[in-house]
Amino acid sequence: MQTQSLFRTARRIGLLIAACASFTAHGAIVGSTTDVDFTGHSTSFTFLNQTFTLTDNGSGFPSTVSASTSGTAMYAKDFFGISVFFDPPRNYLVFDSTYQYASYPSATVLSFSSLPTLLGLAVTAADGVHFGYAEFAGTLFEGYAFQTAPNVGIAAGAALVPEPGSIALLSLGLVGVALIRRRR
């Protein structure tokens, strides 16, 4: 009798993990919305082990921020360099393959970066290109977001969800709590 119960529990856990894996396959929006003031220094964030850095260049209005990248991390660019988008209405700006992207190993000044700004981001990985965006106003970094599914665009202001791995761990923890309660 106890063997059948363990078998059913293992089956349920397997189904739960399969559901989480399915969720991962469809992609999600992951990132951070923590406000960080980087006045007088820099702030960095990573996605798929690739780093984006924003630095206070101390030059004041209108260009307070410089940006750089490492690895396959890239910023959206135009003819003049890194493209800066001035906080447009949400979801009208979609960062995807229609933009050109480039790496910037050394700090590059962002024109008019003292205003509320959005930057398009891209990271090339083995499964394709992952698009994202960063948001800041002068030296206040407001956050970033990435699409976990490769080659899929992301709308500026897209809602963040927990990473699929976090959801899987939470679900397994809840299953464990349910098993302990059931045993008692």
Same-domain check for residues 23 and 83: no
Number of domains in the chain: 2
Percent of the chain with pLDDT over 70: 71
pLDDT at 58: 81
Q: Pairing mode, if any, of strands 42-47 and 154-155?
A: unpaired
Determine contact, residues 131/125, Cβ cutoff 8 Å: no
Note the pLDDT of residue 61.
72
pLDDT in tens, 164-184: 555 565 666 667 667 677 776
Same-domain pairing of 96 and 67: yes
5/80 same-domain check: no
Question: Has this prediction a pTM greater than 0.85?
Answer: no
42 and 96 assigned to the same domain = yes
Name residues whose C-beta falls within 8 Å of residue 166's C-beta, 6 or more positions apart in sequence. none
pLDDT at residue number 85:
82
pLDDT on residue 15: 46
> Which of 30, 75, 37 shows the shortest CA–CA distance to 56?
37
> Do residues 98 and 15 touch, judged by C-beta distance below 8 A?
no
What does the pLDDT average to over 54-81? 87
d(Cα 149, Cα 130) in Å, to the nearest integer?
A: 7
Q: Based on the domain organization, do 54 and 19 belong to the same domain?
A: no
* CB contact at 8 A, 44 and 53: yes
Question: In the numeric block, which tokens belong to residue 172?
Answer: 């397994």
Asked whether residue 71 falls in the same domain as residue 134, the answer is yes
Please give the pLDDT value at position 124.
96
Helix (H) or strand (E) holding 81: strand 81-82
Q: Residue 69 has what pLDDT?
A: 96
Give the per-residue pLDDT at 89. 55
Q: What is the pLDDT confidence band of residue 154, given thresholds at 50, 70 and 90?
A: very high
**pLDDT (tens digit per residue) in 10-64:** 555 554 454 444 444 457 888 887 889 999 999 999 999 999 999 998 876 777 8
Which of the 8 DSSP states describes residue 85? B
Range of the domain at 171: 1-27+162-184
Dihedrals φ, ψ of 36, to 5°? -130, 125
Alpha helices in the chain (DSSP H): 2-26, 164-183
